A = this chain, B = another copy of it.
Amino acid sequence: MGVVMVRQRPGTPTLEEVAALAGVGRGTVSRVINNAAGVKESTRRSVQRAVAELGYVPNLAARSLAGRRADAVALVMTEPDWRMFGEPFFSEIVRSVGDALTDTKVQLLLTLVRTDAERRRFVEYARGGRVDGVMLMSVHAEDALPDMLAEVGLPTVLLGRRSGDEGVTYVDADNAGGARSAVTHLLDSGRRSVATVTGPLDMYVAQCRLRGYREALRRAGVEDRSSWIAEGDFSEDSGRRATAELLARAPEIDAVFAASDTMAAGGLTALRAAGRRVPEDVAVIGFDDFPLAQHTDPKLTTVRQPLEDIGRTMVRLLLEETEDSAVAWRHVILRTELVLRGSA
């Protein structure tokens, strides 16, 4: 016998059959199902009746082929470490992107790109015209995927930048500004020895937050000491370790700015373990990467990222690029907000 491959199974009615039943031409049916103007109301109605009677559903492959859009966009997560997938940061972005698309006819497709094979497959998929645009989350600095997509003319929007001169359209939080406001707040409240736990410094986001920290110190005329800087990797554990390290080599510190809330949580642990009272002896502020994380200290003062806005903005930019091929790229930086909760 052999492998019989019936995809769109036989019975599926076509536009032509609808036209026949309604006694009109195919063009008219097409206009009706696409809500195009210029169809007599009575005709429209009879076509709609035929559509309902036959249970007609347009074949999307044919529609795409005939030159229209795919009516779908991809939100891709390029993260070899699948555990990140569960992080509140990502589920929040996914939710807000979904919300921004909920009242459109654009289908959101989440995809995971972990290996090189998956990367190739996705590029084929996207270049093959099955999506109108691509949003990328958690892109690593060396990742060429965004360029591959953008170069072939596919609307592409990044969440965050890979470097200071990012070429592809992106939406990012004001990381430097956020860090600056956090550190300025610490200095304004009388703290003089403000240390920082940075993120991994090969990531641009971590560099920005460190720069903001330095700028705030400089503006306040406080001398920048290397003993006040310790590098973490955004994990809670690294925050604990880095803070302990700071405490050991710079016992004078009376405030800590951590480049993520999870590291700040770890920092709190380390400070308390060392007998420091928070915020009396040491004030702490974290940059809010995982705003809903259960494990974050609820009293922690943080710099809040507007995740909802980020998702919405990514969608807006993407749809705009989809409809206006003139724009090469755009860069959007969104404001952050300091949320005081008692640890600083």
Question: Could you tell me which A residues sit within 8 Å of B by CB distance?
Answer: 3-9, 11-12, 57-65, 67-70, 72, 82-83, 85-88, 90-91, 94-95, 98, 102-103, 105, 107-112, 114-115, 117-118, 121-122, 124-125, 127-130, 132, 152-153, 292, 294-295, 323-325
> In the complex, are the beta carbons of B65 and A61 less than 8 A apart?
yes
Q: Which B residues touch A88, using CB under 8 A?
A: 86
> In the complex, are the beta carbons of A129 and B61 less than 8 A apart?
yes
Residue of chain B at shortest CB distance from A90: B86
Q: List 29 A-B contacts (CB under 8 A).
A: A4-B324, A5-B323, A7-B68, A7-B132, A9-B152, A57-B127, A58-B128, A59-B65, A59-B128, A59-B129, A60-B129, A60-B130, A61-B64, A61-B128, A61-B130, A62-B65, A65-B65, A82-B94, A83-B91, A85-B91, A86-B88, A86-B90, A94-B112, A98-B114, A102-B115, A107-B121, A109-B110, A110-B112, A294-B294
**Copies of this chain, how many?**
2
Cβ contact of A102, chosen from B67, B95, B117, B132, cutoff 8 A: B117
Q: Which B residues touch A125, using CB under 8 A?
A: 60, 72, 107
Q: Which B residues touch A117, using CB under 8 A?
A: 102-103
Residue of chain B at shortest CB distance from A107: B125
The answer to whether residues A69 and B5 also contact, given A98-B112, A114-B98 and a CB cut-off of 8 A, is yes
Q: Which B residues touch A5, using CB under 8 A?
A: 68-69, 323
Smallest distance from the beta carbon of A84 to chain B beta carbons, Å?
A: 9
> In the complex, are the beta carbons of B95 and A82 less than 8 A apart?
yes
CA distance A316 to B69 in the complex (A): 32
> In the complex, are the beta carbons of B129 and A102 less than 8 A apart?
no
